[in-house]
Every structure is written in structure tokens, then in C-alpha cells.
């Protein structure tokens, strides 16, 4: 069985993780990361959500409205709430899943402190539109959420540079990983200093126990994604035995992991640095597979392929389908695990519905949370073609209710 997500790990990460730690591991990772993203400063954090949480603190935002997509990772509004601010959700747009910037205009009030521009699934945020928004409201901070996009480009302009700062998530499911971990990049010297101060004030140093836990986690990742073993892992997952490890949120609760204020460990930084060296190659391959899928999926009436957009980095490849549950079930019977990503629309989640009952309706976000599936982009070309032919078989064997009207 081919897993739907898989980190691009080989012996080099393992070797890096097993070398003796150095005093400056994290600093070296930060420097290399900033260089890769073409920004002056890189500042590391234990999670992407911690990065956002401390960024809002460093910007002195409190009890303010922070505009963010309704269709994004739920840890984003969690970090906003935890920082003492309030998320204001904006629906996404049909063409590229990104937050609709026209609707953002309508959501701005005198309490708005920042806008989180997210390049979801690696589709670059429309920087022309963002420019005019910024001209109109120069006092509102633009924060780039680059957890999916890293250095995606809008018409040749890298998204991460278009705001006060960009943050990234580096957990095992991201384009590149440092086991867990997060990062902020910025060209703003004063902000970089404030972020480091905030880190000193709020984060405790990583313990040896954290390094060991991260090492064990990494060691467990290698066999987990080994194809024969993965079939077993997948069964356990479906039976609910792995819920503690794979579920990253609960519907009713807004919370953060216990160690979200414990600094990134040197092991993570070393693994991240190795991954960074593979970045270009990983992105090139993802672009290649996205194009390959899109060329083929045209022939499958049940699927609507996601757009191909110049400069996108494709953290995920997400076709839309009508009857997701049925397709997923049939595919699984044929040894193909498809899965989905962002299967929720945040304003509809119990925790947010209760806390902020007056959020606007987000019809696209609601729809995409129900209709998208996720095809793997970590495989080689041959495996991708196999996935396509299995999918084709499943769809053509199922004549009736899978097809899109």
C-alpha cells in the first residue's frame, strides 16, 4: 500500500540525527533556512504554531482581530486565540483554495491587527491584490503563512518576502521537515531582535529528554512508511488504535501541545538542515507529479483536478470529487489509500462555533472540506502512474453515483 503522505528521508537525516549535538546546531539551521528563503533572518521555534503565537506577541498585538482563512490548518486560529487575540475567518475562493482577498477588505475593522495570508496547498497568494490591500491599510500587518508554500512565487515574486514576516511548519507531514519545529523569516532587523527576545522570555531550553523523544520519533518514522509495514499501520489507524499519534486536533477544544513552549532541539535542527539541501529537488519533483496527474485526470469524469499554477509548490495535490466517502472506500479496497486534507471548515468546528457564533458564512470552505481528496506527491513517476490507473479502474467500475454532475 502506498501511503498518502511520506517524508523524503534517507540515510543522511538519520546520520545527522545520530551525530553528537553542537552548541550552534539551531543557529546553523536558522542561517541556512534564511538563506534558502532569501531573507535576512531565520528564527527557529518548536512548532509553526509557536512561531505565530510569539510573532503576534512580538508585534504587540493583543485583544485585536486577526484575519485568517476559514479553510486552513486549525492550529492557526488556536495560536491566535492563545495569544490573546481573536480570529476573524474569511472564506476561500473557488479557483485556488486561497482566502478571498475581496472578502478580506469587507472584514477589516478598526480592531484588525493583522492579516494572515496563506498560500494553501502551495498555491501562491495573489500578491497584486495583497499590494493594494496593504496600500489602503498600511498599519495592518501582513503575515505570510508559508507552512504549505515555503518559497512559492506569484508571477516570479516569492510570497514569503511580502509581509512583515513569514512563518513555516516543519513537522513530518510538511514539504521539508525537522521532525517537529517551526521557523520565522523576516528582513526586518528590529522584529528579528524582538522575536529572539520573545523566545528568551517565553521558551524554556530543550531538555535532553526532548532530544531523545524526537530521535525516537524519527527512528519510528522510517519503518512506519516502509510499504509492507505501512499496510499494517494503516489498519491500526483505521481501527482507531493510533488516534493518539495521528489526530492533531479535537473538535471542541482550543489547545496547544504540552511542549509548545520548549525550544527546538539540536537534533531537529540538524535534520532540518539536511532536508533544506533537498528542497529544490523535492519541489521540482512535486511540480512534475502535479503536472503528470493533471494531464491524466482530465480523462476521469468523477474528478476535478486542482489548478496548475506557475510558481506553486504543491504541498498537496487535491482533486475535488462528489462522493468522497464512497470513492475513498472503493479505492482502499483496491489497495489505494487516498485520504483527505483539511476536512473541516474552521468556523463550523464546535470550539469556534461556540466561541465566535457570529462568523460569516463560508460556503466554499464548507464545500472544499467535504469534496477534496489528496493524491500522494512523494512517489516516483511510475508509482504515480499506477495510482492513476488504479483510480481509473475504481471510477470506471463504479458507473453510477461517483461521477460529478
Piece of the chain touching ligand PLP by CB under 6 A; list 43-51, 82-90, 135-143, 238-246: 43-51
d(CA 45, CA 284): 27
* Shortest Å, Cβ 206 to ligand PLP: 16
Nearer to ligand PLP, 87 or 182 (CB): 182
d(CA 310, CA 360): 31
Half-sphere exposure of 303 (CA within 13 A, CB side): 27
Binding of ligand PLP by 30 (CB under 6 A): no
Cα of first residue to Cα of last residue in the chain, in angstroms, is: 30
283: cell is: 519541489
Piece of the chain touching ligand PLP by CB under 6 A; list 9-17, 19-27, 144-152, 220-228: 144-152
- Eight-class DSSP state of 147: T
Three-state secondary structure call for residue 38: coil
* Shortest Å, Cβ 76 to ligand PLP: 5
Nearer to ligand PLP, 118 or 153 (CB): 118
d(CA 237, CA 232): 9
Nearer to ligand PLP, 199 or 296 (CB): 199
From the list 48, 206, 319, 347, which residue makes contact with ligand PLP (rule: CB under 6 A)?
A: 48
Nearer to ligand PLP, 64 or 148 (CB): 148
Nearest of 148, 167, 272 to residue 214 by alpha carbon: 272
d(CA 324, CA 240): 20
Q: How many residues bind ligand PLP (CB under 6 A)?
A: 14
* Shortest Å, Cβ 304 to ligand PLP: 22
Helices (H) and strands (E) in the chain, counts: 16, 11
* Shortest Å, Cβ 214 to ligand PLP: 14
Nearer to ligand PLP, 75 or 192 (CB): 75
Nearer to ligand PLP, 85 or 296 (CB): 85
Q: Which residue has the cell 529544490?
A: 280
The set of residues, in sequence order, having a beta carbon less than 8 Å from that of 337 and lying 6+ positions away, is 1, 2, 3, 4, 234, 331
Three-state secondary structure call for residue 321: strand
From the list 6, 41, 148, 286, which residue makes contact with ligand PLP (rule: CB under 6 A)?
A: 148
**Burial bucket for residue 206 (CB in 10 Å: 0-12, 13-18, 19+):** buried
From the list 4, 17, 29, 47, which residue makes contact with ligand PLP (rule: CB under 6 A)?
A: 47
Nearer to ligand PLP, 160 or 330 (CB): 160
Piece of the chain touching ligand PLP by CB under 6 A; list 23-31, 44-52, 291-299, 368-376: 44-52
Binding of ligand PLP by 124 (CB under 6 A): no
Piece of the chain touching ligand PLP by CB under 6 A; list 126-134, 145-153, 277-285, 366-374: 145-153
Cβ distance 107 to 347 under 8 Å?
A: no
* Shortest Å, Cβ 78 to ligand PLP: 9
* Shortest Å, Cβ 146 to ligand PLP: 8
CA distances from residue 393 to 1, 386, 389, 404 in whole angstroms, order as listed: 16, 11, 6, 16
Cβ distance 249 to 146 under 8 Å?
A: no
Among all residues, whose Cβ is closest to ligand PLP? 48
Nearer to ligand PLP, 50 or 153 (CB): 50
Q: Identify residues 49-88 at the interface with ligand PLP (CB under 6 A).
A: 49, 72-73, 75-76
Neighbours of 204 (CB within 10 A): 11
d(CA 33, CA 26): 10
Binding of ligand PLP by 171 (CB under 6 A): yes
* Shortest Å, Cβ 392 to ligand PLP: 30
Q: Identify residues 103-122 at the interface with ligand PLP (CB under 6 A).
A: 118
Q: Which residues pair with 68 in a beta bridge?
A: 89
Q: Identify residues 262-301 at the interface with ligand PLP (CB under 6 A).
A: none
Nearer to ligand PLP, 116 or 289 (CB): 116
328: cell is: 475513498
* Shortest Å, Cβ 272 to ligand PLP: 12
Residues that bind ligand PLP (CB under 6 A): 47-49, 72-73, 75-76, 118, 145, 147-148, 169, 171, 182
Amino acid at each position: 500500500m502506498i501511503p498518502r503522505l511520506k517524508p523524503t528521508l534517507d540515510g543522511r537525516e538519520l546520520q545527522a540525527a545520530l551525530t553528537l549535538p553542537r552548541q550552534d546546531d539551531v543557529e546553523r539551521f536558522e542561517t541556512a533556512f534564511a538563506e534558502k528563503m532569501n531573507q535576512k533572518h531565520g528564527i527557529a521555534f518548536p512548532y509553526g504554531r509557536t512561531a505565530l503565537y510569539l510573532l503576534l506577541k512580538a508585534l504587540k498585538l493583543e485583544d485585536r482581530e486577526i484575519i485568517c482563512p476559514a479553510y486552513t490548518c486549525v492550529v492557526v486560529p488556536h495560536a491566535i486565540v492563545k495569544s490573546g487575540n481573536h480570529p476573524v475567518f474569511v472564506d476561500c475562493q473557488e479557483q485556488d483554495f486561497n482566502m478571498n482577498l475581496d472578502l478580506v477588505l469587507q472584514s477589516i475593522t478598526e480592531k484588525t491587527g493583522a492579516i494572515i495570508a496563506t498560500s494553501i496547498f502551495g498555491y501562491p497568494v495573489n500578491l497584486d491584490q495583497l499590494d493594494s490591500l496593504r496600500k489602503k491599510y498600511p498599519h495592518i500587518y501582513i503575515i505570510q503563512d508559508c507552512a504549505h508554500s515555503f518559497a512559492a512565487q506569484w508571477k516570479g515574486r516569492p510570497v514569503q518576502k511580502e509581509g512583515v514576516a513569514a512563518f513555516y511548519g516543519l513537522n513530518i507531514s510538511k514539504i521539508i521537515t525537522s521532525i517537529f519545529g517551526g521557523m520565522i523569516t523576516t528582513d526586518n532587523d528590529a522584529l528579528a531582535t524582538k522575536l529572539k527576545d520573545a523566545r528568551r522570555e517565553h521558551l524554556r531550553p530543550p531538555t535532553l529528554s526532548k532530544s531523545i523523544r524526537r530521535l525516537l520519533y524519527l527512528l519510528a518514522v522510517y519503518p512506519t512508511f516502509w510499504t509492507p509495514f505501512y499496510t499494517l499501520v494503516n489498519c491500526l489507524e483505521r481501527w482507531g488504535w493510533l488516534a493518539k499519534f495521528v489526530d492533531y486536533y479535537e473538535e471542541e477544544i482550543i489547545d496547544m501541545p504540552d511542549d509548545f513552549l520548549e525550544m527546538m532541539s539540536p537534533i531537529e535542527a540538524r535534520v532540518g538542515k539536511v532536508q533544506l539541501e533537498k528542497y529544490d529537488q523535492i519541489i521540482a519533483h512535486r511540480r512534475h507529479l502535479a503536472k503528470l496527474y493533471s494531464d491524466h485526470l482530465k480523462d476521469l469524469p468523477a474528478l476535478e483536478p486542482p489548478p496548475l499554477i506557475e510558481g506553486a509548490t504543491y504541498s498537496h495535490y487535491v482533486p475535488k470529487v462528489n462522493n468522497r466517502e464512497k470513492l475513498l472506500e472503493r479505492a482502499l479496497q483496491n489497495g489505494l489509500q487516498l485520504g483527505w486534507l483539511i476536512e473541516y471548515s474552521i468556523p463550523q468546528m464546535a470550539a469556534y462555533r461556540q466561541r465566535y457564533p457570529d462568523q460569516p458564512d463560508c460556503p466554499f470552505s464548507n464545500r472544499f472540506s467535504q469534496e477534496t481528496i489528496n493524491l500522494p506527491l512523494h512517489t516516483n513517476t511510475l508509482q504515480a502512474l499506477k495510482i492513476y490507473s488504479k483510480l481509473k479502474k475504481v471510477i470506471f467500475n463504479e458507473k453510477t453515483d461517483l461521477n460529478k454532475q
